Structure 1
Amino acid sequence: MTMLRRTTLLLPLIALAAACGIGSVRAEESYPSKAIRFIVPYPAGGGTDTIARLIGTQLSQRWGQSVVVENKPGASGILGNDAVAKAPGDGYTVLMGITTVVQIPALYKKVPYKLSDLAPVSQIAKSADLVIVPRSLGIPTLQQFVEKARAEPGKFNYGSYGNATSSHLNGERFKQKAGIDITHIPFQGSGPEMAALLGGQITMAFVDATAAYPHLKSDKINVLAITGAQRHPALPQVPTMTEAGYPGLEANGWFGTFLPASTPKPIVDKLGAEIASIVKSPEIHKRLTEMGLIPVGSLPAEFKAQIEKDAVHWKNVVEAAKISLD
């Protein structure tokens, strides 16, 4: 009788669990069944926003569901990242993130979410910083710049597109590797930084390749090297920092998508596979290339491995340079 009572009491719980399981499977099979939100943690009109709208348009056409791009700028991307980290794990709130996603935990002591609260979906494209000097400086190679900087400590400077950005971190890493004393000058974005470089107001700059792309044929600049693990397709003659003799700057910048970590794996995989397919389509591959980017289109497991590797790299760079935004 006791066993019978226990079984009777358990039956409703078993039925509820089964129903929840069936409901979950059905939700995953029917995904997507409503509009999807792409959260961009930066203002409208920038590169991240442009890429979100490119991918969103294609996703909408393929899946027959609306994709709405919502800009949530603020706190170096933390506001938008946090909104997705705390969103329901149903696949309908997607983060269009950049490299700062993995840099933020090292730069801030207090962050309202953990990196593990976000599930990597697909790395869309890679970017890199170009090391550029005004041609009027008469310096054609990175080694010659280092030699001049060593001979005259404190005379030279380098521009970045903002404090604690990849260009700032790369610049500090370069200073350490080269053993030189050059002053950091931060700008409010790549546009003002590039303008200052073209105007000869700074002696060197780490400029995002997408911002420098329209100026690559200018007779006012010399491109000395590029960060990241490979040469840029548009600049096959420009060596990587490692090839130029300064290893430790192999990490690329990137654009990628994330979902809340609570999202079921089948939904993460389905969205990841679709975005990867979109990125590799001729139209989007061409558009990304024209932006100065290197298209990737990775699957969730590949992007996760890249995230883990990059998180360690940037943490080491930030600690060595003693940079903090708190």
Structure 2
Amino acid sequence: MRNPIRRARLAWAALCWAVASAGACAQAVYPQHAVKLIVPWPAGGSVDIAARVIAEQLSVNLGQPVIVDNRPGAAGNIGATMAAQSAPDGYTLLMATTPMIINRSLYRNLPFDLARDFTPVSQLVTLSYVLVAHPSVAHSVPELIAKAKASPGQLSYASSGPGTQLHLIGEGFKRQAGIDIVHVPYKGAPPALADMLGGHVHLMFPGFPVVEPLLKSGQLKALAVVSKRRLALLPNVPTLAQAGVPNLDFTEWYGVVAPAGTPDKIVAQLNGEIVKILKMPDVRQRLAGRGFDPVGGTSQEFAELIVEEQKKWAATVAQSGVRVDE
């Protein structure tokens, strides 16, 4: 049996069967101890920010600590694989993100499948990407494109890793703008932004929440929003289409999933608490103030989104020509 996730599932099932008469696998009240929420990206990034807002209130609602466990690396694959191999008992959850969908089309031997190895709990938020540059580079998209065309291969753009959505957006931007800029991958947005501030890379397409403080301070400049509409928090920043680069419209989403086989009762309980949290005025204000759009919804609605996203991103990856040999 080659699939380690399947082996873990069978081992857990065998253990539960063996001790079911003693009631060790199913406790009357959930949770009895701390719950771990794996975030497969670095602390301080957009995913981490949203996770901590939710985890803080979920700890209160569940009456047990919900501990955020950052496990970055391999475009989210390290943390996702760890969660997929965890016991399906409700005590290990995962922040699912768009790259986990993209990776299915990029990696030949991906050790997990988001739709197969996880049970959706609830979508949390959506957010927009923003094209940002160091102020010394450009103050508008036309100026950036003109500079890139005048010096092919001299400007670079950062991403949160090979094959991530930031990488794919960057390649799409290169193609649509007809320019030659160099891709520089990092292990997440925070280290990439740190190098941008130091002038080591010139532009990036991060999620708005992680870059918002740097835009507010003037350390980085927002040139365009990668979406159909302008952001309320950036009313004077055009969309890429308005800035002259059409056909690039991407929105990121985050949600909570549990290992496949997690009892329906626990999934329903977690969904109910998360949806309740996302309706709380103070939570909505905290999320919206950082550029997140709270969503919520049922487990089934989140499952349907995952299926739709797999189809969309598979086409985007094929069009981009990006490959990851792992």
Give the alignment's TM-score, normalised by structure 2: 0.77
Q: Secondary structure at the match of 2:60?
A: helix
Amino acid at match of 2:245: Y
Which residue type is aligned with residue 324 of structure 1? V
CA offsets per residue over residues 233-266 of structure 1, 9 Å max, x none?
Answer: 3112223334444344323223210012323445
Distance 1:130 1:43, change over 3 A: closer
| Pair 1:304 & 2:303 matched | yes
For residues 211-237 of structure 1, the C-alpha deviation after alignment (integer angstroms, 9 at most, x for no partner) is 321121344543111224543231122
3-state secondary structure, aligned to 2:124 = strand
Q: Which residue of 2 aligns with 1:98?
A: 97
Matching residue's letter, 1:128: S
Q: Which moved more, 1:124-133 or 1:32-41?
A: 32-41
**2:280 maps to which residue?**
281
Cα deviation, residue 102, structure 1? 1.2
Residue 17 (structure 1) aligns with: none
Residue 128 of structure 2 corresponds to 128
Instruction: Judge conservation of contact 2:169–2:248 (CA < 8 Å) in 1.
Output: yes
- Residue 239 of structure 2: aligned partner: 240
Map Cα deviations across residues 296-323 of structure 1 (whole Å, 9 max, x no partner): 3333233223322322233233332322
Counterpart of 2:163 in 1: which secondary structure? Answer: coil
Distance (whole Å) between structure 1 residues aligned to residue 72 and residue 227 of structure 2: 27
How big is each residue's C-alpha offset from its partner over 1:137-187, in whole Å with a ceiling of 9 and x where there is no partner?
4x4432343344345433433232333332212101111222222222234
Confirm or deny: 8 A CA contact 2:168 2:322 kept in the other structure.
no
In the alignment, which of 17, 29, 32 is matched to residue 30 of structure 2? 32
Distance 1:109 1:298 in 2: 32
Change (3 A) 1:67 1:223: closer
* C-alpha contact 1:36 1:93 (8 A) present in aligned 2: no
> How far apart, in 1, do the equivalents of 2:139 and 2:264 lie?
50
**2:125–2:253 CA contact under 8 A, matched in 1:** yes
- Which letter does structure 1 place at the counterpart of 2:43? G
CA contact (8 A) 1:224 1:239 kept: yes
Does the aligned pair in 1 maintain the 2:75–2:163 contact within 8 Å? no
Identity of aligned residues (%): 36
Q: Contact between 1:280 and 1:296, CA under 8 Å: does it hold in 2?
A: no
Distance 1:268 1:80 in 2: 20
Equivalent position amino acid for 1:126 in 2? T
In structure 2, distance between residues paired with 1:98 and 1:35: 26
Does residue 263 of structure 1 match 2:262? yes
- For the 8 Å contact 1:122–1:300, the answer to whether it is kept is yes
Structure 1 residues 161 and 218: alpha-carbon distance in aligned structure 2, compared to 1, 3 A threshold: same
Partner of 1:4 in structure 2? none
Equivalent in the alignment of 2:212:
213
Q: Compute the displacement of 1:129 (Å).
A: 2.6
Relative to structure 1, is the Cα distance of residues 131 and 87 closer, same or farther in structure 2, using a 3 angstrom cutoff? Answer: same
Q: CA deviation at 1:110?
A: 0.6
Structure 1, 248-257 or 198-207: larger mean CA deviation: 198-207
Give TM-score scaled by structure 1 length: 0.77
SS state at 1:211 partner: helix
8 Å contact kept, 2:275–2:297: yes
Aligned to 1:177, the other structure's residue is in SS state helix
| Counterpart position of 1:58 | 57
Secondary structure of 2:234 counterpart: coil
Measured in 2, the distance between the counterparts of 1:57 and 1:221 equals 30
SS of the aligned residue for 2:136 comes to helix
Aligned-partner SS, 2:144: helix
Tell me the residue number matched to 2:173: 174
Deviation at 1:45, TM superposition (A): 3.5
Distance 1:266 1:140 in 2: 52
Give the counterpart letter for 2:253 in structure 1: W
* Runs of 5+ consecutive residues of structure 1 not aligned to the other structure: 1-19
Residues 35 and 90 in structure 2, CA contact (< 8 A), matched pair in contact too: no
- Rounded to whole Å, the distance in 2 between the matches of 1:56 and 1:218 is 28
Match of 2:4 in 1: none
The answer for unaligned runs of 5 or more in structure 2 is 1-19
Matches of 1:316 and 1:291 in 2, distance apart?
A: 30
Q: Partner of 1:100: helix, strand, or coil?
A: helix
Question: Separation in 1 of the partners of 2:92 and 2:220?
Answer: 42
Structure 2 counterpart of 1:118: 118
Q: Which 10-residue stretch deviates more, 152-161 or 174-183?
A: 152-161
Separation in 1, partners of 2:241, 2:166: 16
SS at match of 2:153: coil
What is the number of residues matched between the two proteins? 300
CA RMSD of aligned residues (A): 3.1
* Contact map agreement 1:57 1:67 (CA 8 A) in 2: yes
Given that 2:124 and 2:253 are in contact with CA atoms closer than 8 Å, whether structure 1 keeps it comes out as yes
